A and B are shown apart, each in its own frame.
Chain A
């Protein structure tokens, strides 16, 4: 396995609810590594802490507990100034291309900002050259740079968002549901663009999505989250074929099948996802799990490593 780029250890993020002593446990003790050059897909239903995890990794949010290290350097104690140097190596692509671009700035101003922050000595001409080449990389035309975001379609805006993220030539990019706000036909284009850029700039992606097909197409490893916890993490093929964890099983059985051929049993989950303010005791998934045993209600399962390297958090005997 290649070098570890991002190392997340037992990270927790609790948001205060306003009521004393009660917290939304958005992320409740997750640990994982992201290796250099890979794409780690993060899946889970709404509210399971995917996006929060992405932001914690970039220190856009501060962790409540645990540590996040980037290239061996721990981010927790770093000041804004110390962070600034690292910021150019880790970037984010946002979900909503309508909200992630400042409506009062032209594309040129948006894309010039990273250079203005990090390369203060750059002249306007140099910046202009850089911006033009960026815009070309993401498949927009040079005359687009003096337009305002609202003059673009969703796909084009997302390309601008991607251009901003890769402007400083980062090593690591968190993609926070980058295509879920786009039309399906546009999704493919943007995904392909991201794949091309990954090759060209040797990027490492953390790809957050709830679209299982895109994850399958795009990622090397997959992490499944449920209620602020990692339930399973491992190689894509192992996750999609073995379907060890009951939650993964249910999730993957929900992928619609275009051909209409039998794809095995559909597992319907009953009940709602529990409130993260008041998570269930023991395994967070036990109230909805069809294999629930006594131990599941009392003891939270740890991630266990299987023979093929997949880690699963379940009391069931998996091998």
Chain B
């Protein structure tokens, strides 16, 4: 009964952070853009007038390819007569989910390995940090291309490979933060209570290093979307006919398209640009908002 009387208060960290985030206009605009893109991706079937995988025809026979904007197609059609706008919104699903899953994988690996390395130190630390150095030496783009060709390029392989290559930054970050937090007295207090290592890491240490991890993950998300776009443009990423912003740009390899039919490639390029820029703005905003040092 006493419990119901004093309701759980909202975590002041979160509300303060939101106050600071709200002041950053660029971050707000970025969030708005990303929210619109996510909504568009979710409601892709409703937004698109035409199936993104079917070539449209003029009347009954003639392929309606490379046609500019008209009443049936918001952004015209591509060289195979498919609706550009439909492909754009379906591509948003692919590009964003690749980014999200890849960053999810790399962040989890980074947190776990960074935590082990920072908390236990010694041999584990040395082995993991040397692994980080080794992975950092890989020319990631080249490695991804090779693995993608060996494993058969697919959207899932791309997610996994990118996840496995990009965890080093997070691991280093988490390790450093844990080295800092581990010497805090509240961690000593937990030790003196007899808490297990697992409990200390996940209940005391990780929540206190979450802010920089979130920022790092956001920034990585932008990089992941770019990497996916580059890979798909090169033809080793998301495979046609599945649309992604990257492989929609393949059309621009054709000089005639590049100069004469901008509706075939400008929207996809603009989407990549806007998504990456917005996510970076959000990341900057989060960094400022979550930084405890700026707390008054």
Please give the residue numbers on chain A whose beta carbons come within 8 Å of chain B beta carbons, in ascending order. Answer: 55, 58, 60, 80, 83-84, 87-88, 90-92, 94-96, 99-104, 106, 113-114, 117-118, 128, 132, 142-143, 145-148, 150-151, 161, 164, 168
Contact = CB atoms under 8 A, between A and B. Distances in A.
A220 to B, nearest CB: 24
A55 B189 CA distance: 11
A104 B208 contact: yes
Contacts of A99: 184-186
A104 B8 CA distance: 14
Interface stretch (B75-83, B191-199, B223-231): B191-199
B3 interface: yes
Residue from the set B7, B188, B194, B204 with the largest chain A CB neighbour count within 10 Å: B194
A146 to B, nearest CB: 5
B6 A142 contact: yes
Contacts, number: 80
Given A91-B192, A96-B185, A102-B204, 16 more contacts: A58-B192, A60-B192, A84-B194, A87-B192, A99-B186, A100-B186, A102-B208, A106-B8, A106-B9, A113-B203, A118-B193, A128-B2, A147-B9, A148-B12, A164-B189, A164-B193
A310 B274 CA distance: 78
B8 A113 contact: no
Given A104-B207, A146-B8, A113 B190 contact: yes
Interface residues of B, number: 27
Nearest to B3: A128
A87 B194 contact: yes
A75 to B, nearest CB: 13
B202 interface: no
A101 B194 contact: no
Nearest to B188: A60
18 contacts: A58-B192, A80-B196, A88-B194, A91-B192, A92-B192, A94-B185, A99-B184, A99-B186, A101-B189, A102-B208, A104-B13, A113-B195, A117-B193, A118-B194, A143-B6, A148-B11, A148-B13, A161-B189
A95 B185 CA distance: 9
Given A100-B185, A128-B3, A113 B193 contact: yes
Interface of B: 2-3, 6-9, 11-13, 184-186, 188-196, 199, 203-204, 207-208, 292
A259 B190 CA distance: 44
A96 B185 CA distance: 8
B198 to A, nearest CB: 11
A150 B199 contact: no
Contact of A117 (B6, B12, B13, B194): B194
B185 A145 contact: no
Nearest to B193: A114
Contacts of B190: 102, 113
Contacts of A143: 6
A92 B6 contact: no
Contacts of A104: 11, 13, 207-208
Contacts of B208: 102-104
A92 B186 CA distance: 11
A198 B286 CA distance: 47
A15 to B, nearest CB: 13
Given A83-B194, A128-B2, A128-B3, A100 B12 contact: no
A146 B12 contact: no
B186 A101 contact: yes
Contact of B12 (A92, A145, A151): A151
Nearest to B191: A60
Residue from the set B3, B6, B11, B192 with the largest chain A CB neighbour count within 10 Å: B192
